[in-house]
Chain A
Amino acid sequence: MQAAGLGESTAAWEPVLPWLIILLPLLGFAINGALALSAARKSADAVRAGGEFDFFENGRPRTHSLPTWVGPGVMLLAFLLTLVNFAGMLGADLHEPVVLSYWSWISTGELEVAAAIQLDQLSMIMMLIITGVGLLIHVFSVGYMRDDPGYPRYFAYLNLFIFFMLVLVMGASYPIMFIGWEGVGLCSYLLIGFWFSDEAKASAGKKAFIVNRIGDLGFLLAIFLLYLVFQRVDFVGIFGDAESVFEYGGSVITWVTLFLLMAATGKSAQIPLYVWLPDAMAGPTPVSALIHAATMVTAGVYLVARSSVLFALAPLSSAMVAGIGVLTALFAATIALKQNDIKKVLAYSTISQLGYMFLGVGVGAYTAGIFHLMTHAFFKALLFLGAGAVIHSMHHALHHTKKDWDAQDMRNMGGLKAYMPYTWITMWLATVAIAGIWPFAGFFSKDGIIWMTGAMAGAEQAPYAGLYTVYWILALATAMLTAFYMTRLMVMTFHGENRTGSREAEHLHEAPRIMWIPLAVLAVLSVFGGWINVSTDLRESILGGFGLLPMGEWLHGWLEPVTEAAHLIQETNLGEIAHAAPIFGGGEWVWGLISFVAASAVVLATLRLLGSRKVTVAVDDAEPTGLARFLYNKWYVDEFYHRWVVDPILTTSRVLWRVVDTTIIDGTVHLVGNGTRALGWVVSLFQTGQVNTYAFILTVGVLVILSMVAF
Chain B
Amino acid sequence: MLNALAYDSWVLHALIWLPLLGMVHVLWAAEDRAKELALRWSLLVFVLSVGLWWAYDPALGGAYQLTSSRPWIAVWGVNYALGLDGISLFMVMLTTFTTPLAILGSFDYIKKRQKPFYALMLLLEVGVVGVFAATDLFLFYVFFELTLVPMYFIIGIWGGERRIYAAIKFFLYTAVGSLLMLVGILYIYARGKTLLGVASFAFADLLQIPLTPGEQMWLFGAFALAFAIKVPIFPFHTWLPDAHVEAPTAGSVVLAAVLLKMGTYGFVRFLLPFFPVAAQHPSVVTLMLTLGVVGIIYASWVAAVQPDAKKLVAYSSVAHMGFVIIGIFALNLNGLQGGLLVMISHGISTGALFLLVGMLYERRHTRLIADFGGIARVAPWLTTAFVITALTSIGLPGTSGFVGEFLVLLGTFELHQGMAIFATAGVIFAAYYMLPMIQSVFLNALDKPENQAVHDLSRREIAILAPMIALMIVIGVHPTPLLRRMEPSVQMVLERVHAAAPPSAALIEFSEEEEEGTDASDAWDEILDRITSGAGRAE
Contacts and interface: CB of A to CB of B under 8 A. Distances in A.
Touch A–B, Cβ below 8 Å: yes
Interface in A300-328: none
A38 to B, nearest CB: 10
A657 B305 contact: yes
Interface in B435-478: 435-436, 439, 442-446, 452-456, 477-478
Contacts of A197: 374, 377, 443-446
A111 B334 contact: yes
A386 interface: no
Contact of A650 (B305, B428, B477, B483): B305
Given A225-B413, A228-B413, A229-B530, A653 B301 contact: yes
A405 interface: no
Contacts of B173: 669
A110 B410 CA distance: 12
A5 interface: no
Contacts of A650: 304-305
Nearest to A44: B378
Most chain-B Cβ atoms within 10 A of its Cβ — which of A44, A221, A229, A245? A44
A47 B431 contact: no
Contacts of A44: 377-380, 456
B287 interface: no
B456 A41 contact: yes
A206 B435 contact: yes
Interface stretch (B116-124, B196-204, B220-228, B401-409): B401-409
A43 B446 CA distance: 14
Contacts of B444: 196-197, 199, 202
A163 to B, nearest CB: 10
Interface in B485-538: 487, 519-520, 522-523, 526-527, 530-531, 534
B480 interface: yes
B427 A179 contact: no
A106 B397 contact: no
Q: Which of A43, A182, A649 has the most CB of B within 10 A?
A: A182
Contacts of B523: 251-252, 255
B396 interface: yes
A210 interface: yes
Interface stretch (A120-128, A212-220, A291-299, A548-556): A212-220
Interface in A119-152: none
B238 A665 contact: yes
A-side interface mostly: helix
B410 A224 contact: yes
A217 B456 contact: no
Contact of B446 (A47, A225, A652, A657): A47
Given A252-B526, A665-B235, A109 B427 contact: no
B398 interface: yes
Interface stretch (B59-67, B177-185, B418-426): B418-426
Given A196-B443, A250-B526, A251-B519, A186 B391 contact: yes
Contact of B398 (A107, A109, A179): A179
Contact of B397 (A103, A109, A182): A182
A245 B455 CA distance: 60
A203 B409 CA distance: 29
A213 B534 CA distance: 32
A183 interface: yes
B240 to A, nearest CB: 11
Given A37-B380, A210-B431, A213-B427, A231 B534 contact: yes
Nearest to A186: B396
A641 interface: no
B165 to A, nearest CB: 10
Contact of B534 (A104, A189, A230): A230
Contact of A48 (B378, B403, B520): B378
Given A104-B480, A182-B396, A37 B305 contact: no
Interface residues of A, number: 68
B384 interface: yes
B337 A108 contact: yes
Contacts of A183: 396-398
Contacts of A636: none
A196 B377 CA distance: 9
Interface string B174-196: 00000000000000000000000
B530 A228 contact: yes
A179 B477 CA distance: 10
B58 to A, nearest CB: 12
A224 B443 contact: no
Interface in A207-259: 209-210, 213-214, 216-217, 220-221, 223-225, 227-231, 245, 250-252, 255
Contacts of A228: 413-414, 527, 530-531
B528 to A, nearest CB: 9
Contact of A652 (B301, B443, B478, B522): B301
Interface in A31-46: 37, 40-41, 43-44
Given A103-B478, A210-B435, A225-B413, A656 B445 contact: no
B77 interface: no
B368 interface: no
B397 A178 contact: yes
Contacts of B410: 111, 223-224, 227
Nearest to B457: A41
A654 interface: yes
Contacts of B453: 48
B441 to A, nearest CB: 11
A178 B398 CA distance: 10
A665 B302 CA distance: 13
B411 to A, nearest CB: 9
A105 B480 contact: yes
B483 A50 contact: no
A50 B452 contact: yes
Interface in B366-380: 374, 376-380
A67 to B, nearest CB: 16
Contact of B452 (A47, A105, A652): A47
Contacts of A216: 427-428
B160 interface: no
A639 interface: no
B301 A199 contact: no
Given A199-B444, A229-B531, 20 more contacts: A37-B384, A40-B381, A47-B452, A106-B407, A109-B487, A175-B397, A179-B398, A181-B397, A196-B442, A209-B431, A213-B427, A217-B424, A217-B425, A228-B414, A229-B530, A250-B526, A251-B519, A251-B520, A251-B526, A656-B301
22 contacts: A40-B381, A41-B381, A48-B453, A48-B455, A110-B333, A178-B397, A182-B396, A182-B402, A196-B439, A196-B443, A199-B439, A202-B444, A213-B427, A213-B431, A217-B428, A221-B424, A224-B424, A227-B410, A649-B432, A661-B302, A665-B238, A669-B173
Interface of B: 169, 172-173, 235, 237-239, 298, 301-302, 304-306, 333-334, 337, 374, 376-381, 384, 391, 396-398, 402-403, 406-407, 409-410, 413-414, 420-421, 424-425, 427-428, 431-432, 435-436, 439, 442-446, 452-456, 477-480, 483-484, 487, 519-520, 522-523, 526-527, 530-531, 534
Top-9 shortest CB links A-B? A40-B380, A224-B413, A196-B443, A251-B523, A653-B301, A109-B333, A202-B443, A179-B397, A657-B302
Interface of A: 37, 40-41, 43-44, 47-48, 50, 103-111, 115, 175, 178-179, 181-183, 186, 189, 193, 196-199, 202-203, 206, 209-210, 213-214, 216-217, 220-221, 223-225, 227-231, 245, 250-252, 255, 649-650, 652-654, 656-657, 660-661, 665-666, 669, 673
